[in-house]
Copies of this chain bind each other. A is one copy, B any other.
Amino acid sequence: MTEAAKTAIAQADTIVGYRTYLDLIPELLIGKEVLSSSMMQEVDRCRRALELAEAGQEIALVCGGDPGIYAMAGLVFELAAERDSQAEITVIPGLAALNSCAARLGAPLMHDFAAISLSDLLTPWSLIEKRLSAAASADFVIVLYNPKSKKRSDHIGRARQLIMEHRAASTPVGIVTAATRENEAITITTLERLLEAEINMQSSVIIGNSTTFQWRDFMVTPRGYADKYNLS
């Protein structure tokens, strides 16, 4: 957590958020009004946060990761735009899963990458497939969000199949589950053996580009295709 995030919470009158995340910061909630997921659902919470802000309160809306990457900032702005809200909105960036997972794996994101969510709840699966193929064909490192859930256990297999049309079976793949949490698990495998690895709803998967290599327990994408640095 950054200093800026702590300061924003300290300055707020009311803290709004999903219970799981608020439970991680009990010391920051002392003396605050709290609206959590035990009281209302996501859309209602965001709408209520806007209403309170419009009425002059200072609100901190808390989520996990970076609110600006596949997270809460979008819903807030969608709702604010819908009602043309007069609330003053500031997004405080945080560490997204891609930042945390890349760090745990070594240095996989040293070159161009694409982030793709395999959830088809709000996106047609055909568009997700198109993106997987486009990213694989242009040698992007690929970060997969939402690789698997109970309802979507086969999406990761289909993604692997599409990517393997453009990339070697030996391509390094990193899987980070519950990054920095107690139950954190880190696996480095290959595209070929990807489906043998444990992957669940808390996992992010990073697939290397054609130059990515494994060294010890790390996954490293070199910074250049041309070797201008003459390291040796």
Please list the residues of chain A having a beta carbon within 8 angstroms of any beta carbon in chain B.
1-3, 43, 66-71, 73-82, 89, 91-96, 98-100, 102-104, 106-117, 121-124, 127-128, 130-131, 133-135, 137-140, 213, 215, 218, 220-226, 228-229, 231-232
Contact = CB atoms under 8 A, between A and B. Distances in A.
A121 B80 CA distance: 42
- In the A-B complex, list the 5 residue pairs whose CB atoms are closest, starting with the nearest: A122-B224, A74-B110, A134-B138, A73-B107, A93-B103
Given A112-B117, A123-B111, A223 B131 contact: no
Contact of A68 (B94, B107, B130, B222): B107
A144 to B, nearest CB: 10
Contacts of A114: 112-115, 135, 140
Nearest to A113: B115
A110 B73 contact: yes
Contact of A78 (B91, B95, B231): B231
B225 A77 contact: no
Contacts of A102: 66, 68-69, 91, 93
Given A93-B103, A112-B123, A131-B139, 4 more contacts: A66-B102, A77-B220, A111-B117, A121-B228
Contacts of A232: 82
14 contacts: A3-B3, A66-B102, A68-B109, A69-B109, A70-B109, A74-B222, A77-B218, A78-B231, A81-B215, A89-B218, A112-B115, A114-B115, A124-B225, A127-B138
A112 B131 contact: yes
A105 to B, nearest CB: 9
Contacts of A91: 102-104, 106-107
